[in-house]
Structure 1
Amino acid sequence: MDVLSDVITVARTGQPRSARVRWHAPWGQQFTSVPGSAGFQVILEGSCWLLSSKAAPLQLDAGDVLFVPRGSGHTLADHPASAMTAPVCAPDDPKLSESFASDSVDRLGQGGPVTVVLCGAYQLDPSRTHPLLQTLPDLIHLPADRSRHPELHAAVQLLAAEVGNPRLGTSATVPALLDTLLMYILRIWLAEQPTRGSTTGWAAALNDPAVAAALHAVHRDPAAPWTVAKLAAEAGLSRAAFARRFRALIGQPPLGYLTWWRMTTAARLLRTTQVPLRSIASQVGYTSEFAFANAFKRTHGLAPGAYRRKH
């Protein structure tokens, strides 16, 4: 697998949720901060305003995508003035559960202009969130642009159709489309970073051919007997030049990241499979089950067997 695919596979837990909400002006809705979650809103029809303590008020139009990678609090409203009296939607609020218990929700309001919003939410496990997600801004806004992002627009249309008109197979289709939409959002945002002057961090790393080649090699085959020299060869750089560039962009040395990824992969296998420990050790590059157990305990604070029983 490549880095971005692994980021989604490892971080997400449980089933993603979605709903199509139809608002009638005047309306406003405050979404409180929900740590350990990520969400998005796509404006399917009409327009609204995004209000947040993190940024200036922003008007969202049909086709715009808003991604909230860390569940930061924000407000959507038909007009900034409506936000002053907008009800709060907390994680345990029945209104929030109601919205996601149904595929389509109609907020009648007072019969004003209509805004239709496609909402989605993911649960993330903070203990295994990839550092790529941790470097994202609190809010990501992708303006509607069918000519530049046709695949994103296509995913939105497919998801909106499934959520708005559930049929046979919708329960299987919607989670796959949500993952696809999330992948497109991240891919587009990462690809646009160089034009915004990004020089360090994961966006710069994945757009750096040398460092990206080494990262993909690690994710493609974490069990390989990687050394700094072998990863430098994948990158097409000298050992010293590669080590400097990798650390400057990623924030840790190559073998440090390799160990972290191996232990993250091992933890996922322990949680989701009954594969024997010796097999997991082999899959993440350890010929000795004892050495694997020691490395795992240093990272997670528990021996592999105890970790599996707990999770």
Structure 2
Amino acid sequence: MDVVSDAISVVRLGRPSFDRVRVGGSWCVRLRPYDGAGFHVVLEGGCWLLPDGGAPVSLGVGDAVLVPHGTGHVMADSPVDAAAVAKAVPFEQWRDGAGSRTGPDRGEVEMLCGKYRLDRSRLHPLMAELPKVVHLPNRVGGHPELRAAVDLLSGELDARRPGSCIALPSLLDLLLVYMIRSWMAEGTSGAWPGVLGDPVTAAALRALHSDPAAPWTSARLAAEVGVSRPTLARRFAALVGRPPMAYLTWWRLTVAATLLRDTPDTLAAVARRVGYGSPYALSHAFGREFGTTPGRYRAEAQRRLADGQ
């Protein structure tokens, strides 16, 4: 697994949900804050996104936008004022009523609106530093992979071909990856595009993520990357914000928490998979990091997962 894939995998829960909506005329709807990430893809026409506490964003046909921290926001036909925002119709009510038309008559605006469930208790710093709104406009020659994913998604929605129940969630997962990848390629904000662009630090992260259970030491990791220990320590800490072995400890415990949530593996098996010599050693480290025991963490995480929280 690469760093970006791992950063997404440890926080993703269940399948994404979405609604395809068509609307015309004057409209203004509110999407409440959500413990996950929201997204919108404009399939036809144009509209505006007004994030709580942020500047309005104009969206055109083919644009994709990610709201990675679940920030509450308003979608509207125009950059409405504060009074109109205060009166915005809740999205669920609007979607189920006359304001959203899903029949054969095409409206002025057609959108795909959805959300990904995320477990924010172990958010990777790459995900944490995403801005409030990631707007990826449809530009000629810009982000061809994202454009292809949007086109495939649009085609799958139109055709409802056999296998769409598998294809649609898979394409939505791909959309998330491409939106984050496109944001990193823009490189206009955040430290992690630079982290993964640095050959030494990126190579060290790849090694740690590829085999977190390996008996890593600073010397072994430096040899793997092909630099001296002081060089690795200096560059890694400057870019990532913590020394390599401290990052490894945090990542091992993050993976352990994911395994406790998503698998029936025993604590001993989890310990082996993340590089701890015994269940006791893992429990001790886990308690320092998360403030609870692995057993309690597993019970609470699985309860929340079952409840859809």
- How many positions carry a matched residue from both structures? 297
Q: 1:203 aligns with which of 157, 170, 193?
A: 193
Moved more, 175-184 or 231-240: 231-240
Structure 1 equivalent of residue 101 of structure 2: 106
Deviation at 1:172, TM superposition (A): 1.8
Q: Which amino acid aligns with 2:44?
A: E
Change (3 A) 1:37 1:88: farther
Q: Secondary structure at the match of 1:153?
A: helix
Structure 2 equivalent of residue 125 of structure 1: 119
Partners of 2:224 and 2:186 in 1: how far apart? 25
Partners of 1:56 and 1:226 in 2: how far apart? 45
Q: How does 1:61-140 map to 2 (within 5 A)?
A: 61-81=60-80, 84-85=83-84, 87-88=87-88, 94-95=92-93, 98=96, 106=101, 114-140=108-134
Change (3 A) 1:232 1:77: same
Change (3 A) 1:71 1:56: same
Structure 2 unaligned segments of length 5 or more: list them: 303-309
Q: Secondary structure at the match of 2:10?
A: helix
- Mapped pair 1:57 → 2:56: yes
Q: Is the 8 A contact 1:27 1:82 kept in 2?
A: no
Deviation at 1:12, TM superposition (A): 1.1
Partners of 1:226 and 1:149 in 2: how far apart? 37
What's the RMSD between the two structures over aligned residues? Answer: 2.5
Change (3 A) 1:81 1:272: closer
Q: 1:306 aligns with which of 281, 289, 296?
A: 296
- Mapped pair 1:180 → 2:178: no
Fraction of identical pairs, as percent: 47
Deviation at 1:289, TM superposition (A): 2.5
Q: Is the 8 A contact 1:227 1:255 kept in 2?
A: yes
- Mapped pair 1:192 → 2:186: yes
TM value normalised by structure 2: 0.87
Q: Is the 8 A contact 2:32 2:72 kept in 1?
A: yes
- Mapped pair 1:274 → 2:264: yes
- Mapped pair 1:4 → 2:10: no
Q: Secondary structure at the match of 1:106?
A: coil
Structure 1 equivalent of residue 164 of structure 2: 170
Q: Is the 8 A contact 2:28 2:88 kept in 1?
A: no
Change (3 A) 1:97 1:7: farther
Change (3 A) 1:39 1:53: closer
Change (3 A) 1:203 1:296: same
Partners of 1:257 and 1:89 in 2: how far apart? 44
Q: Which amino acid aligns with 1:201?
A: A
Partners of 1:115 and 1:5 in 2: how far apart? 33
Partners of 1:309 and 1:118 in 2: how far apart? 35
Moved more, 273-282 or 177-186: 273-282
Partners of 2:48 and 2:298 in 1: how far apart? 45
Q: How does 1:275-290 map to 2 (within 5 A)?
A: 275-290=265-280
TM value normalised by structure 1: 0.86
Deviation at 1:48, TM superposition (A): 1.4
Deviation at 1:122, TM superposition (A): 0.8
Deviation at 1:85, TM superposition (A): 2.9
Q: Which amino acid aligns with 1:256?
A: A
Partners of 1:15 and 1:250 in 2: how far apart? 30
- Mapped pair 1:152 → 2:146: yes
Q: Secondary structure at the match of 2:7?
A: helix
Q: Is the 8 A contact 1:42 1:64 kept in 2?
A: yes
Q: Secondary structure at the match of 2:56?
A: strand
Structure 1 unaligned segments of length 5 or more: list them: 100-104
Deviation at 1:236, TM superposition (A): 2.9
Change (3 A) 1:273 1:115: same
Q: Is the 8 A contact 1:31 1:88 kept in 2?
A: no
Q: Is the 8 A contact 1:54 1:138 kept in 2?
A: no
Structure 2 equivalent of residue 102 of structure 1: none
Structure 1 equivalent of residue 305 of structure 2: none
Q: Is the 8 A contact 1:205 1:212 kept in 2?
A: yes
Q: Is the 8 A contact 1:26 1:112 kept in 2?
A: no
Deviation at 1:54, TM superposition (A): 4.5
